[in-house]
Amino acid sequence: MTQTRYTLQQHHVNLKSSVKLSHVNMYHCESPASNIFPGHPYSKIIFIQKGQGQFYFGNQFLPVRENDLLLVNPDKQKFSVDVRESPLDFVILGIENLSFIDDTKQCIPPFTRLSFPSDTCQHLMHMLIHELEKHSEFYEDACRYYLNLILIEIQRNTNIHYDFPSKEKNNRDCKFVKEYLDSHYTENITLDILSKESKMNKYYLVHSFTKHFGCSPISYLNDKRIEKSKNLLETTNHSIAAIASMIGFSSQSYFSQSFKKNTFMTPNEYRRASRQI
């Protein structure tokens, strides 16, 4: 008798239990007109079951056809789909607590296409869809199982890797962004800059920061600048334009607009009121 024994070690793909298949949407598009879809703060795998078309996002477009896989990181940007060969059938897997990264550990470009994935990957996707349509007992567990196998197949056959943002890491990242804003609020700050400094996908950054602090990074930045401007209005005779420039606003008019939205007073009204006390 012969026996072959395999001892399984933890593999570096490390598909953590926090990865969650939150939902699956199946679409059947016949009209050649654009179909518009909202963005979401979770990752997506889009599988083209049948037909041909084009995905539009921002100023870019991506042609797709049967058996293509699209990988999409958390993104609140809307996208649209044009049908080129009717019908265009596709499936969107919504995946929480996972991001797609490349060999350099940077987030992949939006709507990264994997043309003609392995036969195994196609088979697993069809099995996942079959489980959804059959709705047998424990089908949800089976779908999550197939998702994990799909993710393994993608990593085996491409240069795609995975990042699993933990709650602790999210807290650290959000704290870093807040401290960066506190220290650099006088500078020209955009979401792209915050994304680069924090090494976070900018849409996931907004989602995490908002969930953690109750407001978006840009809202926090504006509030920070307004609070600093109040002190300058109370204690100095700088012009409104000078104060706007000192605290990082791009123009006096934008500063005045933001100030009134925050305090229900113009900067000059606030200055006069503060000096009457």
Q: How many CA atoms lie within 13 A of 143 on its CB side?
A: 20
Q: What is the pLDDT of residue 46?
A: 92
Q: How far is CA 20 from CA 5, 71, 275, in A?
A: 32, 16, 56
Domain residues for 84? 20-163
- Final residue in a domain of this structure, among 108, 133, 163: 163
Residue 77 has pLDDT above 70, yes or no: no
pLDDT 10s digits, 23-51: 888 888 887 666 777 767 788 999 999 99
Claim to verify: residue 106 and residue 40 sit in the same structural domain: yes
Our CA angle for 34, 38, 41, nearest 5°, is 150
**Among 97, 93, 89, residue whose Cα is nearest residue 140:** 93
Claim to verify: residue 26 and residue 74 sit in the same structural domain: yes
In a domain, 9, yes or no: no
In a domain, 207, yes or no: yes
Claim to verify: residue 266 and residue 158 sit in the same structural domain: no
In a domain, 7, yes or no: no
- Final residue in a domain of this structure, among 163, 179, 213: 163
In a domain, 88, yes or no: yes
Claim to verify: residue 26 and residue 132 sit in the same structural domain: yes
Claim to verify: residue 50 and residue 129 sit in the same structural domain: yes
Claim to verify: residue 194 and residue 134 sit in the same structural domain: no
pLDDT 10s digits, 114-170: 875 678 888 999 999 999 888 899 988 899 999 999 999 998 888 898 887 666 677
Q: What is the pLDDT of residue 3?
A: 45
Claim to verify: residue 260 and residue 236 sit in the same structural domain: yes
46: domain CATH number is 2.60.120.280
**Among 42, 76, 73, 77, residue whose Cα is nearest residue 56:** 77
Number of domains in the chain: 2
Q: Both ends of the chain: CA-CA distance in Å?
A: 96
- Final residue in a domain of this structure, among 147, 163, 179: 163
Q: What is the pTM of this model?
A: 0.63
Claim to verify: residue 148 and residue 43 sit in the same structural domain: yes
In a domain, 146, yes or no: yes
Claim to verify: residue 149 and residue 181 sit in the same structural domain: no
Claim to verify: residue 158 and residue 265 sit in the same structural domain: no
